[in-house]
Amino acid sequence: MTLAQPSHQKAKALRPGARRPAKDLCSECGLCDTYYIHYVKEACAFLNQQFPQLETQTHGRSRDLDSDDDCYFGVHQDMMAARKQQPIEGAQWTGIVSTIAIEMLNRGLVEGVVCVQNTADDRFQPMPVIARTPADILAARVNKPTLSPNLSVLEQIEQSGLKRLLVIGVGCQIQALRAVEDKLGLEQLYVLGTPCVDNVTRAGLQKFLETTSRSPETVVHYEFMQDFRVHFKHEDGSTETVPFFGLNTKELKDVFAPSCMSCFDYVNGLADLVVGYMGAPFGWQWIVVRNDRGQGMLDLVMDQLDVQPVMSQGDRTAAVQQSIPAYDKGVTLPMWAAKLMGVVIEKIGPKGLEYARFSIDSHFTRNYLFTRRNYPEKLAQHVPEFAKRIVSRYKLPPQ
Ligand code: FAD
Ligand code: SF4
């Protein structure tokens, strides 16, 4: 007797370049490049916001909306600052993400790891793969700061018969993954997430580099850091820093992908374990353990880490409120004011978790205004309750 073919396998993936169901809001997560497009209406992060259901499915509970920490950082059971005692050369930070993935593969917890390498001729062009060796995982280290179709490998997972899998990804990819998790034929899925914000298409990245860096063609790596500057690392090992408040926001007003301008999953609420930097002191990584699976993943590498408790210092609220009119209009502050503001903010400004809250508040208010302006019909359903609570702390310009 032959088993009936699952209905999704009869669906047809969209060809590259074809308009996706989420239209301009598509983040190119890769789901629609596979026959799992069958589930797109329910699964797409931009067509169906369903945090409470997916959090309950993943962590056993949804965010407690009366808890400030839950609203900001998602369901979690632990948080810390950490760094590898021996950093991985060429990783985005100290390489905690790559190290966890390698340990999970080496110890047989998983048979493959979904991660994203770059193409041979472009260091910033993402190429999602299912890594089967530590070398494949290492080849995926460092951010590809562009929209990446990580879920485009989903069909290969079902067809290859893999049963235990780790997926590394950002929020929009993980929301869609969680929605189709039970269709993949897996016995065990682990999810290692990173926070993500202000992503761009490959063409948008070129514009950002050209308007912001003194030498766009030699940039190998960049990060928006807690010292309120963008740090560019160049091929020759030199570092260039540009203050946030000096970014040419008029030129860059439309550079960020519309998906990222309407995203409220900065902290990757559906991953088992999240590794970022923004809640940690400068030079350290920020770890959020969401559930027991995530704790088990972190335990594998604890002996390779220096660890310290998270801290919080300063008051972000005035700085966030002052920036709101600019988010509404895309005004560029002159360079001298940028530097001055940078110094003031550095002296009295938010540190540790308060910096993370600063960044979340700034992005949520900006994204709320973007969604209200461009997709008013989506506002009520698309903005999750925890984000509405955060945004309601600030005075927004009238509609
Ligand atoms: P590494 O060991 O270098 O590994 C990096 C991993 O990221 C690789 O496994 C690779 O598969 C994966 N990856 C690379 N590019 C992408 C992509 N485009 N989509 C999905 N997965 C990818 N952290 C914050 O705290 N605040 C932020 O605002 C923030 N913004 C980010 C924006 C983007 C686009 C990305 C990809 C990450 C962002 N992070 C942010 C996370 C942070 O920059 C580091 O990725 C994280 O701390 C892990 O560092 P690492 O040295 O351990 O990673
Ligand atoms: Fe499809 Fe993903 Fe784009 Fe949504 S974001 S339309 S699921 S490719």
pLDDT, residue 101, reads 98
Q: What does each of the 399 residues of the chain score in pLDDT, given as a tens digit?
A: 556 788 899 999 999 889 999 999 999 999 999 999 999 999 999 999 999 999 999 999 999 999 999 999 999 999 999 999 999 999 999 999 999 999 999 999 999 999 999 999 988 999 999 999 999 999 999 999 899 999 999 999 988 999 999 999 999 999 999 999 999 999 999 999 999 998 988 888 998 899 899 999 999 888 887 677 889 999 899 999 998 777 776 777 778 899 999 999 999 999 999 999 999 998 899 999 999 999 999 999 999 999 999 999 998 888 888 878 877 775 444 444 555 556 666 666 788 999 999 989 989 999 999 999 999 999 999 999 999 999 999 999 998
72, 92, 205, 300: residue to mutate for ligand 1 pocket, most atoms within 8 A of CB = 92
Which residues lie with the beta carbon below 6 Å from any ligand 1 atom?
88, 91-98, 115-116, 126, 140-146, 148, 150, 168-170, 194-197, 199, 223-224, 275-278, 285-286
Is position 220 within any domain?
A: no
Query: Number of C-alpha atoms within 13 angstroms, CB side, residue 326?
Result: 19
Is position 121 within any domain?
A: yes
Is position 253 within any domain?
A: no
pLDDT, residue 2, reads 57
How far does the centroid of ligand 2 lie from the alpha carbon of residue 86, in Å? 38
Q: Which amino acid is at 96?
A: I
Strand-strand pairing, 164-169 and 188-193: parallel
Nearest ligand to the C-alpha atom of residue 28: 2
At 137, which CATH number? 3.40.640
Q: Which amino acid is at 137?
A: I
Is position 338 within any domain?
A: no
Is position 340 within any domain?
A: no
Q: Where are the alpha helices (DSSP H) in the chain?
A: 40-43, 51-59, 68-73, 96-106, 134-138, 154-160, 171-180, 202-212, 249-252, 258-261, 292-299, 317-329, 335-348, 353-374, 379-382, 385-391
Distance linking the first and last C-alpha atoms of the chain: 62
> Count of CB atoms within 10 A of residue 118's CB?
17
Q: Quote the CA–CA distance of 76 and 219 in Å, as a whole number.
A: 35
pLDDT, residue 347, reads 67
List Cβ neighbours of 209 (8 Å cut-off, separation of 6 or more): 216, 219
pLDDT, residue 345, reads 65
Is position 359 within any domain?
A: no
Which residues lie with the beta carbon below 6 Å from any ligand 2 atom?
20-22, 26-29, 31-32, 40, 44, 46, 176
pLDDT, residue 339, reads 53
How far does the centroid of ligand 1 lie from the alpha carbon of residue 396, in Å? 31
pLDDT, residue 246, reads 74
Number of structural domains found in the chain: 1
How far does the centroid of ligand 2 lie from the alpha carbon of residue 41, in Å? 9
Is position 358 within any domain?
A: no
Nearest CA owner, ligand 2 atom 3: 26
Is position 300 within any domain?
A: yes
Nearest CA owner, ligand 2 atom 7: 44
For residue 47, which atom of ligand 2 is closest to its CA? 4
Domain containing 300 equals 7-200+259-312
Burial of 161 (0-12, 13-18, 19+ CB in 10 A): exposed
pLDDT, residue 327, reads 75
